[in-house]
Structures are given as structure tokens and as C-alpha cells.
Chains A and B, each alone.
Chain A
Amino acid sequence: MNIFRLAGDMTHLLSIVVLLLKIRTTKSCAGISLKTQELYVIVFITRYLDLFTRYVSFYNTAMKLVFIGTSVAIVWYMRLHKVVKQTYSRDEDTFKHYLLIPPCFILALLIPLEFTVTEILWSFSIYLEAVAILPQLLLLQRSSNIDNLTGSYVFLLGAYRALYIVNWVYRFFTETHKIRWIPWISGLVQTALYADFFYYYIKSWKNHEKLRLPA
């Protein structure tokens, strides 16, 4: 474990805490894409299939359980909670997220880490995570008013994978000296998708103005 990876995991955890805080305190999920949240449930479940078969560390197991548990809880809030589900921006959250699944699965079959079920699903989860934010970014472009917690959530979510890229560079030079095409390329694509958002988010933060993404 290096500081970059720990910072990445904590940033990821913080993004989820911010999202849960928004939903629980404001009893609203306005501006949050249910489709992105559903994709994250799939990402975590297909990535952590080894949860009970491979013990890496207490930290690793605990974080996997937290990520699976919180992502399911967020989907539950947005779909079933009697108050929160009324605030879901159903009409704007229209990205056909299920269309992302077949290409990622085919790519996982073509370029798996290893040709075993768990490794194909692990690769699938890496590819899917890279594009899972698309529905959320589309929704932000359509939201006339992005609240601070939603903006912070997306920013932290993008920042976590950027920190992971630094972790991979660090590990390459200090530990493994091996190139990891699957997570590295996917991580770069994932972080690049946030570039536009990062630009407007930092600009709005510097100018103390409301965050708005050009349509």
C-alpha cells in the first residue's frame, strides 16, 4: 500500500460519503444519475467476486464490503425510498446505460487479464467503471442548477482514479516494473472523461460562482 493508493481509496470513500450525506440530509437525489449508480453496483459486484475466496487484508475486505454495501444502499434510496425517489430527475437521466454493458463485456472476452470467469468479469468491471460516469456527466450538463454536494461528489469520484494512476506509476517504478494495460488504459480513459468537468468545477470554485456545464 502506498500513499497514492490510500489517498485514492479515501477519496473514493469520501465521494460516497458525500453522496450519502446529500441524499440523507436533503432527502433528495436531484441531479444524481440512478443509471450511473446502478452501473457502479455492477462494477463492484463483478470486481469483488473474490471477496470470499481471496483474502488480501482486513482493509481490502472491509473496503470491498463498504463499496458494495453503499452502492446498493444508494440505488435502494433512489428507487425505493418513499421520499427520495420522488426527487429523482427521471426525465433528464436518459442515457441508455445498458448499451454500455455489451461492448465492455465483449472487450473483456477479447482482452481479459486471464481467460477465466473471474478474470473476465474483473476485466469487464474495469472497462465498465471507465464509462460508468457517462450518464452522470450527461445529467449534469442538463441540470440547470448543480448543488455543491453533487459537484463535490463527481469531483471526488474523478479525483480517486487520477490518484490511482499516480499509484500505478509509483508501483511500476518501485515494485513491479510491469505494464498493466487493462487498468491503466481504462483508468486514463475514465479520468479523461472528467477533464471537461474538472475544468468547469475548478473554474467555478476559483471564481466563487455556481457550477454550470455547457450543454
Chain B
Amino acid sequence: EEDDEMHDEL
């Protein structure tokens, strides 16, 4: 899911 890349940041 593309947004995981967003949510691996703090």
C-alpha cells in the first residue's frame, strides 16, 4: 500500500 511509505516516517 503506497501510503506505508508515508507512514514509515516520524
What is A's interface to B at a CB cutoff of 8 Å? Answer: 5, 9, 12, 50, 54, 56-57, 60, 63-64, 67, 113-114, 119, 122, 164, 167, 171, 175-176, 178, 180, 183
Chain B residues in 8 Å Cβ range of A171: 5
Tell me, in angstroms, the Cα distance from A114 to B6 when the chains sit together: 12
Contact of B7 among A54, A67, A178 (CB under 8 A): A54
Q: Are B9 and A164 in contact (CB under 8 A)?
A: yes
**Could you show 14 A-B contacts with beta carbons less than 8 Å apart?**
A12-B10, A56-B4, A56-B8, A63-B10, A64-B10, A67-B10, A113-B3, A113-B6, A122-B7, A164-B9, A175-B5, A176-B5, A178-B5, A180-B6
Tell me, in angstroms, the Cα distance from A56 to B3 when the chains sit together: 12
What is B's interface to A at a CB cutoff of 8 Å? Answer: 2-10
Tell me, in angstroms, the Cα distance from A178 to B4 when the chains sit together: 13
CB-CB nearest 9 A-B residue pairs: A56-B8, A63-B10, A176-B5, A9-B10, A113-B3, A180-B6, A5-B9, A54-B7, A50-B7
Tell me, in angstroms, the Cα distance from A136 to B1 when the chains sit together: 37
Tell me, in angstroms, the Cα distance from A9 to B9 when the chains sit together: 9
Tell me, in angstroms, the Cα distance from A119 to B2 when the chains sit together: 13
Q: Which of B5, B9, B10 has the most CB of A within 10 A?
A: B10
Tell me, in angstroms, the Cα distance from A171 to B8 when the chains sit together: 12
Q: Which residue of A lies closest to B1 (CB)?
A: A114
Nearest CB on B from A62, distance (A)? 10
Nearest CB on A from B8, distance (A)? 5
Q: Are A178 and B3 in contact (CB under 8 A)?
A: no
Chain A residues in 8 Å Cβ range of B7: 50, 54, 56, 122
